[in-house]
């Protein structure tokens, strides 16, 4: 028999079966999850490109030469240095001047210079030439020490600039991430409200509730991403200037000899006093909570800051920058001690009047003029 069309009623043809609302709503969370997944993949790829760029443009701040880390002269024996320190203290030199002269291995030279200046009957060209040679030898050591300080400060500043550059890029990425996630949260809230309202107007209360729950869950996920997510980037820190100070070897492979001697030497008048390097380590422990035997978080941070490198967060970079600042300030104080030494040398040579060098040059000029007149 041929198939007959469905019977008609007074109200017209029979209505179609409505699609269950659950099938309509189920695609919305799936689309949201797919969008978040694709966004995460794009972010991961972008971060990978940034990491490759950062690794390719890193600079090496520590000079790759060993000549700057060796002593130019053999240090005097401890007894010789102690005897020279006592003699200089008796002649009016301060503890600061004596200490820095010992650091730059100029203590025996300075003691001989002070003895030559204080010896009776020091007149004559030969005596003044001897004083000039001794003073020039001390000046050479002071000049070299100042250059060592300047070189070390430049290296530390370079390391700080590397960290600052990475921190600026991470902060920019963090700001963009916060902006995008905030916008995503607003859009998710608006979309869930629109979908829920539309379903409610259509009499689909159950589907409206599902849309509200899905929108709330998505908004909570965005909020958690803002709360717990943190930008990080790679930074190579090998060779590590901070680790050298922490370990405190007898001879440094990264710092010039005079600077390392200044940081690690025990004082001649009080061997039990803490060295500048020991004070630095104590400050780092107190400020940064660094402990290689502490909690897992402390051990992880210690390995990051004193290791060959790793992924740094903005907070890690700020801590590293403060540690480098303390190191830089401690080394820069060496210049003040050198200035005190030069000032006391000038005072011993003649106070505010002409120094021994100036007197010798003046006498040499006068003798040269007299000889020219005789010719």
Q: What is the DSSP annotation of 197-242?
A: HHHHHTT-HHHHHHHHHHHHHHHHHHHHHHHH---EEEEE--S-HH
Looking at the domain assignment, is residue 58 inside a domain?
no
Looking at the domain assignment, is residue 312 inside a domain?
yes
In contact, 259 and 85? CB cutoff 8 Å? no
Q: Kindly report, residue by residue over 153-194, the tens digit of the pLDDT.
A: 999 999 999 999 898 888 887 777 776 666 666 666 666 666
> What total number of domains does the chain contain?
1
Looking at the domain assignment, is residue 3 inside a domain?
no
- Owning domain of residue 97: 66-350
Looking at the domain assignment, is residue 115 inside a domain?
yes
Q: What is the mean pLDDT of each run of 10 residues along the chain (375 residues)?
A: 50 49 45 47 52 52 58 65 85 92 91 83 76 92 95 94 89 74 66 60 62 61 62 88 93 92 82 87 83 82 92 92 95 95 88 43 44 44
Q: What is the mean pLDDT of the chain?
A: 74
Looking at the domain assignment, is residue 281 inside a domain?
yes
Looking at the domain assignment, is residue 55 inside a domain?
no
Looking at the domain assignment, is residue 20 inside a domain?
no
Looking at the domain assignment, is residue 28 inside a domain?
no
The two three-digit tokens of residue 192, written as one number: 């869930």
């Amino acid at each position: 028999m041929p198939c007959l069309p469905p019977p008609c009623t007074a109200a017209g043809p029979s209505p179609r079966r409505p699609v269950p609302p659950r099938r309509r709503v189920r695609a919305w969370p799936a689309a949201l999850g797919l969008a978040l997944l694709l966004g995460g993949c794009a972010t991961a790829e972008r971060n990978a490109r940034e990491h490759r760029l950062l690794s390719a443009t890193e600079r090496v701040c520590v000079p790759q030469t060993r000549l700057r880390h060796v002593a130019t002269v053999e240090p005097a024996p401890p007894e010789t240095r102690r005897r020279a320190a006592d003699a200089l203290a008796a002649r009016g030199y301060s503890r600061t001047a004596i200490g820095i002269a010992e650091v730059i291995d100029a203590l025996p030279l300075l003691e001989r210079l002070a003895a030559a200046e204080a010896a009776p009957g020091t007149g004559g060209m030969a005596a003044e030439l001897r004083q000039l040679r001794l003073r020039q030898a001390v000046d050479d050591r002071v000049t070299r020490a100042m250059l060592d300080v300047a070189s070390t400060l430049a290296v530390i500043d370079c390391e700080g600039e590397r960290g600052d550059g990475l921190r600026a890029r991470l902060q920019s990425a963090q700001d963009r991430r916060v902006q995008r996630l905030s916008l995503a949260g607003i859009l998710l809230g608006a979309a869930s409200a629109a979908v829920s309202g539309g379903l409610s107007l259509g009499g689909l209360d159950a589907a409206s509730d599902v849309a509200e729950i899905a929108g709330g869950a998505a908004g909570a996920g965005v909020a958690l991403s803002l709360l717990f997510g943190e930008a990080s980037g790679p930074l190579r820190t090998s060779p590590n200037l901070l680790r050298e100070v922490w370990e405190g070897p007898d001879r440094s492979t990264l710092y010039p000899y005079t600077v390392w001697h200044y940081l690690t030497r025990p004082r001649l008048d009080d061997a039990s006093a803490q060295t500048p390097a020991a004070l630095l380590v104590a400050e780092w422990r107190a400020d940064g909570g660094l402990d290689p035997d502490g909690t897992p978080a402390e051990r992880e941070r210690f390995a990051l800051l004193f290791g060959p490198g790793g992924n740094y967060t903005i907070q890690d970079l700020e801590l590293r920058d403060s540690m480098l600042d303390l190191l830089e300030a401690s080394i820069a104080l060496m210049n003040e001690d050198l200035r005190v030494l030069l000032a006391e040398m000038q005072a011993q040579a003649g106070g505010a009047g002409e120094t021994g060098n100036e007197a010798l040059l003046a006498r040499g000029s006068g003798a040269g003029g007299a000889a020219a007149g005789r010719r």
